[in-house]
Amino acid sequence: MSTVTAANLLPGVKRYEDVKDAPRKTQEEMGKQDFLTLFTAQLQNQNPLDPVKNEAFVAQLAQFSQLEALTNMQGSMENLVKTMAGERMLSGSSLIGLKVAVPDSFSRLEKDGNIEGKIDLPLGASGVRLNIYNQQGGLVQELVAGPQAPGVASLSWDGTDAMGTPVPAGLYRLTATAVVNGKTTDVTVNTLAKVQSVSTNPADGSVNLELEGGKSIPLSSVQRVGL
């Protein structure tokens, strides 16, 4: 019995020690080069008395062409996704320092300034109550508005407390309830919050805006921008 040594290996054949720990490709990792190698080996080792029929040959070539086209398409799509992610990031970064409308979020009250909010009342309301809270959750002011027509209602807080005294500048949150068809219900208040930073989700390339006050919203949800 002969012994297989490094000296009598066939050209291109590696030693077991060289390949036993090499990473093995899974079925999902087979690419067009692997397909072409198998296809070539099939042609080289076919039975001369029963060669591959022309129809089968053309069908396999068509499969290879489809595989190559899908591979190229995948590469193009990946490049397109990266480009779009970069463009979204650039669009988001242009909003840093500006204010965007966001529901139920803290908004900054400047000295001698005010905070405006908008609520959606598709059925209108017979009355609206607006509550203003500071960052610690304390109730600062409570305002009551009369009947509101169907649509978007605009509300404003002048930055004073229940005694009419101006409160310190800072972050405040506005909440509201409305009486609709005789029932009291919570309604969402949209106020303007300043964009502090922008981040990208590596998983899907989506862009999020980090707002003053700690809230984060997707760029795609922005409907209103202000100074």
Distance CA 184, CA 106 (A): 24
Q: Which two tokens stand for residue 110?
A: 């400047």
Here the CATH number for the domain that contains residue 137 is 2.60.40.4070
Judge whether 38 lies within some domain. Answer: no
Q: How far is Cα 196 from Cα 193, in angstroms, rounded to an integer? A: 9
* 118: containing domain: 99-226
- Pick from 210, 211, 141, 136: nearest CA to 174: 141
- pTM of structure: 0.57
210 versus 44: the higher-pLDDT residue is 210
Q: Give percent above pLDDT 70 in the chain.
A: 68
Buried b or exposed e, range 70-101, using 16+ CB within 10 angstroms: eeeeeeeeeeeeeeebeebbeebeebeeebbb
Residue 199 domain flag:
yes
Residue 14 lies in a domain: no
pLDDT tens digits for range 145-196: 999 999 999 989 999 998 999 999 999 999 999 999 999 999 999 998 888 8
DSSP state of 49: T
Lowest mean pLDDT among 55-64, 113-122, 169-178, 180-189: 55-64
Mean pLDDT, the chain, rounded, equals 77
H or E segment and range at residue 10? none
Average pLDDT over residues 196-219: 81
pLDDT over 50 (residue 9): no
Number of structural domains the chain divides into: 1
> Does residue 197 sit within a domain?
yes
**pLDDT tens digits for range 65-98:** 776 677 777 766 666 656 565 666 677 777 788 8
Helices (H) and strands (E) in the chain, counts: 3, 12
